[in-house]
Amino acid sequence: MTHTVTHSVTVTTTAAAAGGACTAHDLTGTYTVLPGSQGAGNIVYSLKVTNASQGACTVSGVPTVAYLDASGNALPSKLYPNDGQTTVVTLQPGGSATSQVRFSPDVTPCDTGTATTLRLTMPDGSTLDAKIDPATHLCGGGSLQPRPFTAAS
């Protein structure tokens, strides 16, 4: 007589482990001035996200960003995505992608608040906060021009 035993196994994977879209939980971020970018009332900051998870995940397109003051309140802003070729960037564990964001820190009208944090909203709705280095004013009616993510060099 033969007995057959069947075992069922359920495996749950995160988006990162499966190589899907990164969530804020998968990433760390920095937001710093791009050296030499100041001029004509504009400045460019570089948003750099790094995969801190154990598996690959992806970022793509133009990031959705907002500026927050020291109390966590959103400052008025308008996103004007800077057209560019959108590519899917696969981030292996420890891998990074960047997006350059141009804005006007000193063109009137200027909000009286100082932006200390950049909030990145991921496609799944999760958010990642990065300290703005250095903190800045958001002027010119809050016009932000982010570029699509590219692989960090």
pTM of the full structure:
0.82
Q: Is 115 within a domain?
A: yes
**94 CB burial (10 A radius; 0-12, 13-18, 19+):** exposed
- Model pLDDT, residue 17: 43
Q: What pLDDT is attached to residue 86?
A: 78
The pLDDT, as a whole number, for residue 83 is 66
Q: Which pLDDT tens digit goes with each residue over 73-131?
A: 998 888 887 666 778 999 999 999 999 998 877 676 776 778 999 999 998 999 999 99
Domain that holds residue 35: 24-151
Buried b (16+ CB within 10 A) or exposed e, 66-93: bbbbeeeeebebebeeeeeeeeebbbee
Q: What percent of the chain has pLDDT over 90?
A: 50
* Contact residues for 95 (Cβ-Cβ < 8 A; gap 6+): 50, 51, 56, 151, 152
Q: How many domains does the chain divide into?
A: 1
Q: Is residue 50 part of a domain?
A: yes
Is residue 145 included in any domain, yes or no? yes
